Amino acid sequence: MKRAYLLKSILLILFSTTHLLAEPVRLVMVGPPGAGKGTQATQLAEHFKIPHISTGAMLRDHISRSTELGLKAKAFVDSGELVPDHIIVGMLEETLRANGDGFILDGFPRTLAQAKILDQMVERLGMPITGVVHIAVPDEVVVERLTGRGRKDDTEAVIRRRLEIFGEETTPILSHYRDQSMLLSVDGVGSIQEVQSRIRTALASHRHGATAVGKGS
Ligand code: AMP
């Protein structure tokens, strides 16, 4: 009787402390507009019980509230151009600082310069990124998906511009993270659930020490 009680207590203590031993999950999502980053990030955030931080959503929120930051960012967001770094970086650092227990970052970095800013930021905050999830989707699929989404910056011309920017500005960050063995590339064509399970599988093997996961492109 006494031994059973002792065993139960030990198990309870173990269960209640394992989350303290686990490393926080800090992921970055990368992919062209319409790759499903937001949807996949939301599901990952629910699964890991950590917040989904989307720079695009934060900017849209500022724009809708007509804050000083929102007024500065509006013309860029409406035309599909990148908002200048100095407008966005302070907002991001403040948010990351408030989320020491982990996060899913969606929409940042979008350029090699931003990737380097993020490297320095997480180093300064002592919050290393644990993995970079790249959702790969061909352009035709993206245009087809986005024209049906109905957001203000989802007209075909703006979508094409955002895709162009992705190709020119964002693609270089993939090799930046691949060189650091942080890149997990998954095929983004398929159902939401299929892609989610590919991401989870890639993350699980990454955490168990594999360096090359997925297609690696
Ligand atoms: P998203 O919701 O990620 O598709 O972002 C929508 C828009 O917000 C983009 O087209 C950009 O104008 C702006 N934006 C979001 N994240 C960034 C970023 N990291 N750098 C510059 N602009 C951004």
Residue-wise pLDDT for 110-137, tens only, equals 999 999 999 999 999 999 999 999 999 9
Among 52, 81, 83, residue to substitute to test ligand 1 (most atoms within 8 Å of Cβ): 83
Task: Outline where the chain has alpha helix (H).
Answer: 2-21, 37-48, 55-64, 68-79, 85-97, 112-125, 139-147, 156-165, 172-179, 192-207
Pocket of ligand 1 (CB under 6 A): 33, 54-56, 59, 76-77, 80-83, 88, 107-108, 110, 114, 162
Radius of gyration of the chain (CA): 19
Query: pLDDT-derived band of residue 8, with 50, 70 and 90 as boundaries?
Result: confident
Residue 71, classified by CB atoms within 10 Å of its CB into exposed (0-12), middle (13-18) or buried (19+), is: exposed
Looking at every residue in the chain, the average pLDDT score rounds to: 90
Q: Which atom of ligand 1 is nearest to the CA of 76?
A: 12
Mean pLDDT of 174-194: 97
Question: Structural domains in the chain?
Answer: 23-54+102-207 (3.40.50.300)
pTM: 0.85
Model confidence at 214: pLDDT above 60: no
Q: Are 177 and 105 in contact (CB under 8 A)?
A: no
Q: Are 143 and 158 in contact (CB under 8 A)?
A: no
Q: How far is CA 36 from CA 15, 136, 178, 191, in A?
A: 34, 10, 21, 10
Q: What are 77-113's pLDDT values in tens digits?
A: 999 899 999 999 999 999 999 999 999 999 999 999 9
